[in-house]
Amino acid sequence: MNTPLLGAQMLLVAFGATTLVPLLTGISPNLALLGAGIGTLIFQFCTKRQIPIFLGSSFAFIGPIILGTQQFGLPATLSGLMAAGLMFIIISAVVKVRGVKVIERVFTSGSGWPCNYGNWLRFSASCGKHGTG
């Protein structure tokens, strides 16, 4: 009884995001719903329907989509989104073959690597903007 309720709750939550994110970014909600549906079916096939989930849009991509569309146009932005999805598939395959230790080696718990990487990105953007001599 719990599984159908959790699945329905996830569907209602993700459906709102799946229609709102495209409206905020200028992408067709119809394409977002189609992609979410196909992605959900693939996910359910891969997990043998053990996890009741609906894959919807991510609010994390709103900023990059809006900026990418303004600077490079919609086709280039959609290509970037496909590249992000491809990288996710590649990393998932590496983790499936090599195990979680691959991720743990890169993102060690005490290293603060993500914070340091973020600082490096800010610094490199500043150097590029002001010149390095």
Residue 67 tokens read as 């900026």
26-55 confidence digits (pLDDT tens): 888 898 889 888 988 988 888 888 877 777
- Cα 71 to chain centroid, rounded: 20
Q: What is the pTM of this model?
A: 0.60
Task: Report the C-alpha gap between 130 and 124 in whole angstroms.
Answer: 10
75-127 confidence digits (pLDDT tens): 998 898 889 888 888 888 888 888 878 777 776 665 555 555 555 544 444 44
The confidence score (pLDDT) of residue 71 equals 93
